[in-house]
């Protein structure tokens, strides 16, 4: 069964947050240093995933905070594998890479993780420190080296970038790291990685977002294309990214442009926080989520959970980014991205 919302958008992706904690303090996210109360157990997370798959979700992305801080991660990934027989096609994970050792990467691969996206917002100690909330360029340089090692660990573990199993995310913010667009593109061309450049977004309430600090995707495409000519590949249905191919054959680059080129029209993502609150939009208002814990209580039937998610999705009419682009009214408060899983 595939459930559709009020705008006829089917549920396709579950983004399941495993923790609100992070070992970095990126200023565009600013997570808390501690977990909310009432975290879901591993068994409850499995129930949520099973219910989402029953309603049509084909992809599961494990997020945070920093999901590598979740101690039962490998066990959870292994326990999710039977859902492939019920329609789940891929299990992916987004990480800042700081904790990804060679052993950890191998464990994730053996547990059954299909895709891994790492995050790196600069190629110098100064830019990394500024975007990761680190004390100084020396700390940024150490973090940069850790992420570069993580890329190699992931590759050696079998996450093949040529097959789309390993990609690199970078948030770009004017007056903070906008000069890193070309260096990041160069790094990914050298590494054989697809770079996903993400517009600075008005997520949460802590990052002091201003539209003037958004570097539009079109500007980033222009900057890269002047150095290495590009040809458009377009955006696959329900994808967050527009993709371009380098004409010299050195891979692809992608743009996530939720501010300048909203893609609400075919958004198919359901988000569940680490403490079991379901949201149907990254930019949801505080308190607008649905608490799934009553449906996950001991003795409740799995059908109760499926019914709760079914009702939530059928009532969905979110199109925040499109509404923002048409309105001169300042946006209201949002639920925090560190809880929603990005």
Kindly tell me if the per-residue pLDDT of 330 is higher than 60. no
205 is written with which tokens?
């309430």
* Spatial contact of 193 and 167, defined as CB atoms under 8 Å apart: yes
Q: Using one digit for the tens of pLDDT, what is the confidence trace for 122-163?
A: 999 999 999 999 999 999 999 999 999 999 999 999 999 999
How far apart (Å, rounded) are the C-alpha atoms in residues 129 and 139? 7
How far apart (Å, rounded) are the C-alpha atoms in residues 182 and 10? 36
Residue 293 within a domain: yes
CATH number for 260? 3.20.20.70
Q: Using one digit for the tens of pLDDT, what is the confidence trace for 152-200?
A: 999 999 999 999 999 999 999 999 999 999 999 999 999 999 999 999 9
What percent helix, strand, coil does the chain show, rounded to 5?
40, 20, 45
**Confidence at residue 31, expressed as pLDDT on a 0 to 100 scale:** 75
**Confidence at residue 198, expressed as pLDDT on a 0 to 100 scale:** 97
Q: Are strands 277-279 and 269-272 parallel, antiparallel or unpaired?
A: antiparallel
Domain of 225, in residue numbers? 13-340
How many separate domains does the chain show? 1
Residue 191 within a domain: yes
Residue 248 within a domain: yes
* Spatial contact of 128 and 146, defined as CB atoms under 8 Å apart: no
* Spatial contact of 338 and 22, defined as CB atoms under 8 Å apart: yes
**Confidence at residue 36, expressed as pLDDT on a 0 to 100 scale:** 86
Residue 2 within a domain: no
The kind and range of the H/E element at 141 are: helix 137-156
* Spatial contact of 212 and 174, defined as CB atoms under 8 Å apart: yes
Residue 290 within a domain: yes
CA distances from 146 to 97, 123, 140, 213, 265 (A): 7, 12, 10, 28, 38
Which DSSP state fits 212?
G
Residue (of 198, 315, 169) closest to 256 by Cα position: 198
Residue 5 within a domain: no
What is the percentage of the chain residues whose pLDDT exceeds 70?
A: 96
What is the pLDDT confidence band of residue 29, given thresholds at 50, 70 and 90?
A: confident
Residue 4 within a domain: no
Residue (of 315, 313, 309, 320) closest to 282 by Cα position: 320
- Name residue, tokens 């060679």: 102
Mean pLDDT confidence for 276-297: 92
What is the pLDDT confidence band of residue 209, given thresholds at 50, 70 and 90?
A: confident
Q: What is the dihedral sign for C-alpha 281, 282, 286, 287?
A: positive
What is the pLDDT confidence band of residue 329, given thresholds at 50, 70 and 90?
A: low
Residue 230 within a domain: yes
* Spatial contact of 169 and 118, defined as CB atoms under 8 Å apart: yes
């Amino acid at each position: 069964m595939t459930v559709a919302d009020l705008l006829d958008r089917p549920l396709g992706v579950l983004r399941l947050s495993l923790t609100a904690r992070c070992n970095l303090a990126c200023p565009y996210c600013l997570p808390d240093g501690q977990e909310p109360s009432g975290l879901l157990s591993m068994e409850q997370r499995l129930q949520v995933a099973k219910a989402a798959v029953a309603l049509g979700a084909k992809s599961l992305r494990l997020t945070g905070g920093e999901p590598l801080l979740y101690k039962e991660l490998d066990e959870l990934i292994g326990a999710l594998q039977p859902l492939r027989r019920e329609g789940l096609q891929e299990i992916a994970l987004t990480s800042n890479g700081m904790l990804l050792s060679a052993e950890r990467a191998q464990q994730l691969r053996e547990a059954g993780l299909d895709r891994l996206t790492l995050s790196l917002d600069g190629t110098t100690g100064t830019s990394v420190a500024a975007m990761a909330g680190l004390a100084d360029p020396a700390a940024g340089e150490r973090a940069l080296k850790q992420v570069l090692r993580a890329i190699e660990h992931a590759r050696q573990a079998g996450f093949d970038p040529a097959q789309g199993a390993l990609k690199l995310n970078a948030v770009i913010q004017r007056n903070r790291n906008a000069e890193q667009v070309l260096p990041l593109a160069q790094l990914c061309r050298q590494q054989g990685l697809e770079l996903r450049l993400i517009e600075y977004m008005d997520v949460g309430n802590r990052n002091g977002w201003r539209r003037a600090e958004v570097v539009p995707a079109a500007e980033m495409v222009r900057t890269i294309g002047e150095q290495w000519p590009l040809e458009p590949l377009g955006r696959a249905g329900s994808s967050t990214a527009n993709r371009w191919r380098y004409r010299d054959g050195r891979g692809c680059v992608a743009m996530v442009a939720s501010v300048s080129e909203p893609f609400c029209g075919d958004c198919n993502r359901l988000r569940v926080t680490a403490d079991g609150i379901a949201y149907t939009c990254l930019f949801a208002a505080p308190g607008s989520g649905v608490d799934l814990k009553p449906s996950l209580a001991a003795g409740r039937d799995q059908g109760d959970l499926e019914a709760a998610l079914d009702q939530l999705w059928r009532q969905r009419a979110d199109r925040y980014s499109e509404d923002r682009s048409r309105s001169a009214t300042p946006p209201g408060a949002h639920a925090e991205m560190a809880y929603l899983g990005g």
